[in-house]
Amino acid sequence: MGDQSAAKTGTGLVGKLLWGVAAFGVAAVVYIIGQASTNPDASRGMRAFAKGEMAALQTPSDPRPAPVTTIYDPEGKPLRLGDFRGEVVVLNLWATWCPPCVAEMPTLAALAAHYEGQPVRVLAVSIDRAEDIDKARTFIGQHAPLAFYTDPNMKLAFDLVPPAPGMPTTVIYGADGIERARLAGGADWGGEDAKAVVDHILGAD
């Protein structure tokens, strides 16, 4: 039993260390998805949309509401994902040290522009460390109409169920605040495949 406990403890420490290293500037992106926790066939309604740029789209086997983790708006005001209830929320966790995050941001901006005036919120949440916040804010400022949101404590990624496997991770919530789908890794969020996913969720609410 002692050896097993030590092994489990070691495994947990390794996981935390990997995240810590990434948070301090290593542009390492983990694309492994926990297949035991998410099931692409769990929802017939979403299964048809896992194609093209959305081929890696996953649907939760046990749909859950958004975590109550505190994030911060552009003015530094604390809020939670639940504050956006009534809107379809496309939550994107990103950082300036993550090349795929940087590469896909213009497509997220295009998605946000496409749905302006509709109850769809594209919420790009930076997990950059405090000393990189100004850099991250400037970067988002170049991708209107996205606004700058931040999770300086990097808690939201861990509070997701299952936790985000790496950056970028995008989670889509229905207007009821329940997770409908997620995608780990970069994608073209401004294309027709992504719009079809959002349109389906928007129409289902």
> In this structure, what DSSP letter does residue 115 have?
T
The structure's pTM equals 0.79
Does the pLDDT at position 38 exceed 80?
no
Residue with tokens 């896909």: 104
Question: Which pLDDT tens digit goes with each residue over 133-185?
Answer: 999 999 999 999 999 999 999 999 999 999 999 999 999 999 999 999 999 99
Does the pLDDT at position 41 exceed 60?
no
Strand segments, DSSP code E, in the chain are 71-72, 78-79, 88-94, 120-126, 149-150, 169-173, 179-184
Question: Which pLDDT tens digit goes with each residue over 89-143?
Answer: 999 999 999 999 999 999 999 999 999 999 999 999 999 999 999 999 999 999 9
Rounded mean pLDDT of 184-201? Answer: 97
* Confidence (pLDDT) at 44: 52
Where does residue 37 rank: exposed (0-12), middle (13-18), buried (19+ CB within 10 A)?
Answer: middle
Least confident stretch, 7-11, 57-61, 79-83, 117-121:
7-11
Question: Which pLDDT tens digit goes with each residue over 69-84?
Answer: 999 999 999 999 999 9
Please answer whether residues 33 and 58 qualify as being in contact, where contact means their C-beta atoms are separated by less than 8 angstroms: yes
CA angle 188–189–195, rounded 5-degree value: 125
